[in-house]
Structure 1
Amino acid sequence: MARPKERPTAEQVRLAEEQIVAQSKRIDFFLTEYSVELLAQKVRDGEYVVPDYQREYVWEERRKSRFIESLIMGLPIPFVFFWEMPDGRLEIVDGSQRLRTIEEFVYGGLQLGELDPLTHLSGFRFDDLPESRQRKIKNRSVRGIVLNEHADEAARLDMFERINTGSKTAKNAEIRRGALKGPFLDVVTELANAPLLAQLAPLPLKAKRERGYEELVTRLFAYGDGLEDYKDRPSEFLFAYSKKMNAAFAADPKLAEIYRERFNAVLNFVSQNFPFGFRKAERSTATPRTRFESIAIGVDRALAERPELADRAADEIAVSSWINLPEFQKITSSDGANAIARLRGRIDFVKNKLVANAIN
């Protein structure tokens, strides 16, 4: 983004400083170190609270073995993040997979796979090691950061996302599902399992396991309901939206059916008018998120403005006349995808094309 030509005013500096202070107060923490032995014991005894979005033990055997090899070699281990709950227990914000792998190795009989460079340790279990080596492993320390009890759920979500900047955004659906149980997310989960959605928007197996379809459904509703509070940070926007909608659905149970009908109207329209659904090509096995957003939310808004579109024949809708235009390919690229101008641009492109055909 280009730097502004003018220097910030004194008032802008004051507001920026107030914002920094306010946000910093949300993150109060202290540093600590735990021995491998203590961590393994606490995981074994269930003394750590694992939030729902981290319940599944998803590390494959090779990744477990590589992690234990790094631990044995004394390589630096990433910080484990905890939240100190009001009752004094520690909830794992980030590090659940590492901690459970340590416990499985020390107490659960985990057998190491093929290692490199510690090739002679391949196939070993913890009990196969000499007692001296076992003690040395147990004595190794892992650094921890503990957030205090005043860090709210949004602050913990933000920290988790920033720690995992290399992970897929679909993982945020797992986080929301664990932190924000409620009637809206129940409907999202239900609709995410719709066979027609899987047919129109195929996803890789890994994305499915990380609740990728729930992420798509949530984005359809959240962006379709308006972007007034969107600040170029999808995770925060979707978290706040889901929390708000859980309350709205609880207050008015009839909303659930309204949103089901809206979802089905979008999918039926796409099925009838878009030759490859949300995919780029007939044999595509993955669905770009930006393409899904542009089509799904563009259709949603077009139907809201022109309901008669649902009764038009496919040759009247004429999606093929613009779906392959270079302009559409450009606005659905991933470059700057989360910027609000790009997001609005790709949604409005589809909506305007459909509405124009309704008028003609």
Structure 2
Amino acid sequence: MIEADDAIEIENQDELELTAHPHQMGTDTQIRIAKEQSSIFELLRKESRGDLVLAPDFQRKNVWDRKHQSELIESILMGIPIPLIYLFEDEEGIRQIIDGKQRITALKQFKNNKFTLTNLSMLPDLKGKKFDDIAPILQAKLEDYQLHSYVIQPPTPEYVKFNIFERVNRGGINLNKQEMRHALYQGNATTLIQELAESQQFKLATGNGVKPNRMRDRYLVLRFVAFYLLITGQLKDSSIQYKSDVDAFLASVMKYLNTKSSVQLIDNAQKACLYGMEGAYQVLGDEAFRFKSKDGGNRRPVNMGLFEMLVFAFCHIDYTQLDNTKSKLLVNTYKESVDEVGLFSGSIDTTEYVRARFDTAQKITQGLKNA
């Protein structure tokens, strides 16, 4: 069960479930999925060259132990078929393992003599041996073993890739959507949101109330970065728009940050987020992104919409020049008002609600300047 302080209020609760993507494919949608096979030797050689990327772990508790790794090696040496590998290929030809990471990691580690075989039921004579210790004929059998894979290739649209990723993972790890984005869009975007989520400003402003498990913290800062860049017009040289589909929007922004954005734009986003969080904390303390408890009830969790609104408001003002008493009163009045009318309850990601959220943020900025 998620404790109140570990949660993010409202919309992100959908992040913990895998749901059908809202997009409906048109007749002109191009989906390209190639079926391939390659030897373990070839696959590991591609990985060593950087042409194949092993995404970081999502949940460490799901990493295979030595027993599972040894059973995989034993199965291959016995010629038993193992499940399909799923790969995504980007426009540069770089491939990323989406389903099959644990298998490839086990093969890589064994090939590099990182562990000895254990708990073998069918080939007990190999127990306690590393790759270099097994007979050359078995080494060759392992390296020559053919792995079958499906490769999702360009120009398959991003939302189709996301949907495929959902379907593949339903029977396995059950990744939430932020964990899937983290896997699909490795690069500048994932580095940026990791640094923001691990920053002292984030921890102070949220009162350490957003835990890193299931990447809730990264989801929170990613949303701010994406909407900040959109509202401030810094995505104008792209085709990115917002049409009430937050998953497609966040995916597009992450891809843009990875492939097309300047270093200056990423730096702008980082500074805005850090400065906005610091300003909110200095004026409002660690309750900045929480609504007041109702009727003396439990402390309410960090609210996603409130985080976006207030970080945006404070990133546009010199908080060091504010009268903290007047400023806190003004912001709390706005917080009570939006809470009372339910601006951040229910679905907050329609274009109307997004516009209302950042219109209110701009009013708060103006109010603070005049306070």
TM-score category of the 2 structures, normalised to the smaller one:
0.5 to 0.7
Show the counterpart of 1:31.
Answer: 35
Deviation at 1:137, TM superposition (A): 7.4
Q: Distance in 2 between matches of 1:261 and 1:193?
A: 16
Change (3 A) 1:297 1:178: same
Aligned-pair distance for 1:50?
Answer: 2.8
| Residues 101, 301 of structure 1: alpha-carbon distance in 2 compared, 3 angstrom cutoff | same
The equivalent of 1:340 in structure 2 is 350
- 1:264 paired with 2:275, answer yes
Give the conservation status (yes or no) of the 8 Å contact 1:299–1:351. yes
Residues 167-206 of structure 1: matches in 2 within 5 Å? 167-172=175-180, 174-175=182-183, 178-179=186-187, 181=188, 191-201=196-206, 202=208, 203-204=210-211, 206=213
Match of 2:242 among 224, 230, 233: 230
User: 2:66 is matched by which residue type in structure 1?
Assistant: S
CA shift for structure 1 position 321: 9.7
Secondary structure at the counterpart of residue 64 of structure 2 = helix
Contact between 2:85 and 2:100, CA under 8 Å: does it hold in 1? yes
Residue of structure 1 in register with 2:66 after alignment:
65
Partners of 1:40 and 1:107 within 8 A in 2: no
Q: Within the alignment, does 1:220 sit opposite 2:224 as a pair?
A: yes
Deviations 1:311-353 (A, max 9, x none): 4526523639966998699956xxx767537964994798599
Q: Whole-Å Cα distance in 1 between the matches of residues 258 and 45 of structure 2?
A: 34
Displacement of 1:196 in angstroms is 1.7
Aligned match of 1:3:
none
When the two structures are superposed, what TM-score results if normalisation uses the length of structure 1?
A: 0.59
Change (3 A) 1:62 1:239: closer
Q: TM-score, normalised by structure 2?
A: 0.57
Check whether the contact 1:301–1:351 (CA below 8 A) recurs between aligned residues.
yes
Range 231-240 or range 336-345, more displaced: 336-345
CA separation of 1:50 and 1:89: change in aligned 2, threshold 3 A: closer
CA contact (8 A) 2:186 2:258 kept: no
The whole-number CA distance in structure 2 between the counterparts of 1:323 and 1:76 is 60
**Is 1:293 equivalent to 2:293 in the alignment?**
no
- Change beyond 3 A, Cα 1:304–1:265: closer
CA deviations on 1:201-255 (whole Å, 9 max, x unpaired) are 3344555xx6x6554333113224558933454342123234556788639x488
Tell whether the 8 Å contact from 2:86 to 2:98 is kept in structure 1 after alignment: yes
Identity of matched residues, % = 14
After superposition, the CA RMSD in angstroms is 5.7
Q: Does 1:317 align with 2:330?
A: yes
State how 1:1-360 maps to structure 2 within 5 Å: 19-23=25-29, 25=30, 27-33=31-37, 38-39=39-40, 42-43=43-44, 46=48, 49-51=51-53, 54=55, 63-65=64-66, 67-68=68-69, 71=72, 72=74, 77-83=82-88, 91-111=96-116, 124-125=128-129, 142-148=147-153, 150-151=155-156, 156=161, 159-160=164-165, 163-164=168-169, 166-172=174-180, 174-175=182-183, 178-179=186-187, 181=188, 191-201=196-206, 202=208, 203-204=210-211, 206=213, 213-226=217-230, 229-244=241-256, 250=262, 253=264, 256-257=267-268, 260-261=271-272, 263-278=274-289, 291-300=302-311, 302=313, 311-313=323-325, 316-317=329-330, 319=332, 331=344, 339-340=349-350, 344=354, 347=357, 351=361
CA positional deviation for 1:146: 2.2
Give me the whole-angstrom Cα distance separating, in 2, the residues matched to 1:33 and 1:248: 32
In structure 1, stretches of 5+ residues that fail to align are: 1-15, 282-286
Listed one character per residue, the Cα deviations across residues 89-135 of structure 1 (whole Å, up to 9, x for unaligned) are: 855454333212123235524246789x99x9997556688999989
Q: Deviations over 1:240-278 (max 9, x none)?
A: 234556788639x48845862464134322442154344
- Would you say the 8 A contact 2:348–2:354 is kept in 1? no
Q: Would the aligned equivalents of 1:81 and 1:93 in 2 still touch at CA under 8 Å?
A: yes
Q: How many residues align?
A: 319
Change (3 A) 1:239 1:221: same
**Does the 8 Å contact 1:32/1:143 carry over to 2?**
yes
Q: Which amino acid aligns with 2:310?
A: V
Letter matched to residue 175 of structure 2 = S
Q: Using the alignment, how far apart are the partners of 1:144 and 1:135 within structure 2?
A: 21
CA contact 1:191–1:260 (8 Å) conserved in 2: no
Answer 1 or 2: higher relative contact order, Cα 8 Å, separation at least 6: 2
Secondary structure of residue in 1 paired with 2:242: coil
Query: Which ranges in structure 2 are unaligned for 5 or more consecutive residues?
Result: 1-22, 232-239, 293-299
